[in-house]
Structure 1
Amino acid sequence: MTVREILKMGDARLLRVAQPVTQFDTDELHQLISDMLDTMHAANGAGLAAPQIGVDLQVLIFGTDTVNPRYPDAPIVPRTVLINPVITVLDSEMESGWEGCLSVPGLRGVVPRHARIQYTGFDQYGDPISRIADGFHARVVQHECDHLIGKLYPMRMTDFSQFGFTEVLFPDLVDADDEAGVLFAGRTLWSLRLSCSTSAESKSNSAARSNDKPLSPWSLTHGCPTDFHRFQ
Structure 2
Amino acid sequence: MATEGKILPIVIHGDPVLHNRAAEVEEINDDIRQLVADMHVTQEAARGVGLAAPQVGVGLRIFTWEFEDTGDAPTTGEVLNPVLTLLGKVSQEDPDPESETEGCLSVPALSYPLKRSDHVRLQGFDVGGHEIDFEATGWFARILQHEFDHLNATLYVNRLNPRWAKRWKKELRKQGWTTAGNTWMPGEDSDPFGHDDDEAVETSN
TM-score range, shorter chain: 0.7 to 0.9
Question: 1:106 Cα shift?
Answer: 1.2
Kept in 2, the 8 Å contact 1:59–1:84? The answer is: yes
Identity %: 34
Q: Residue 27 of structure 2 aligns with which residue?
A: 23
Distance 1:64 1:229 in 2: 8
Secondary structure of the 1:113 match is coil
Matched, 1:79 2:79: no
Aligned to 2:175: none
Check whether the contact 2:90–2:115 (CA below 8 A) recurs between aligned residues.
no
Q: Relative to structure 2, which stretch is displaced further, 107-116 or 134-143?
A: 107-116
Higher-RCO chain (CA-CA 8 Å, sequence separation at least 6): 2
Q: What letter is aligned with 1:98?
A: T
Q: Distance in 1 between matches of 2:126 and 2:33?
A: 11
Q: Note if contact 1:98-1:229 (Cα within 8 Å) is conserved in structure 2.
A: no
TM alignment of 1:193-204, pairs within 5 A: none
Is 1:49–1:60's contact at 8 Å kept on the other side of the alignment?
Answer: yes
Q: Tell me which of 15, 18, 23 is aligned to 1:11.
A: 15
Give the whole-Å Cα distance in 2 for the aligned partners of 1:180 and 1:30. 30
User: Separation in 1 of the partners of 2:159 and 2:45?
Assistant: 27
Of 95-104 and 140-149, more deviation after overlay is shown by: 95-104
- In structure 2, the residue matched to 1:213 is none
Write the deviation string for residues 120-152 of structure 1: whole angstroms up to 9, x where unpaired: 010012111011111101000000001101111
Contact 1:98–1:109, Cα closer than 8 Å, also in 2: yes
By how many angstroms is 1:64 displaced?
3.8
Report the aligned-residue RMSD: 2.4
CA deviation string 1:169-199 (max 9, x = no partner): xxxxxxx72234365xxxx76xxxxxxxxxx
* 2:145 is the counterpart of 1:136: no
Cα distance in 2, alignment partners of residues 64 and 152 from structure 1? 20
CA contact (8 A) 2:8 2:38 kept: yes
CA distance 1:136–1:64, change in 2 (3 Å):
closer
The total of aligned residue pairs comes to: 171
Judging changes above 3 Å, is the alpha-carbon distance between structure 1 residues 45 and 229 closer, same or farther for their aligned structure 2 residues?
closer
Q: What secondary structure sits across from 1:87 in the alignment?
A: strand
Residue in 2 that maps onto 1:155? 158
Deviation at 1:228, TM superposition (A): 9.4
In the alignment, the residues of structure 1 paired with residue 202 and residue 67 of structure 2 have an alpha-carbon distance, to the nearest angstrom, of: 14
Aligned equivalent of 2:121, options 118, 136, 142: 118
4+ runs of 1 displaced by more than 2 Å? 93-96, 159-165, 179-183
**TM value normalised by structure 1:** 0.67
Contact 1:182–1:229 (Cα < 8 Å) also in 2: no
Q: Structure 2, unaligned stretches of length 5 or more?
A: 172-189
Q: Aligned partner of 2:39: which letter?
A: M
> Counterpart of 2:36 in 1: which secondary structure?
helix
Counterpart in the other structure of 1:179: 193
Report the Cα distance in structure 1 between the residues aligned to 2:80 and 2:137, rounded to whole angstroms.
20
The offset of 1:23, in angstroms, is 1.0
Structure 1's unaligned 5+ residue stretches are: 66-74, 166-175, 190-226
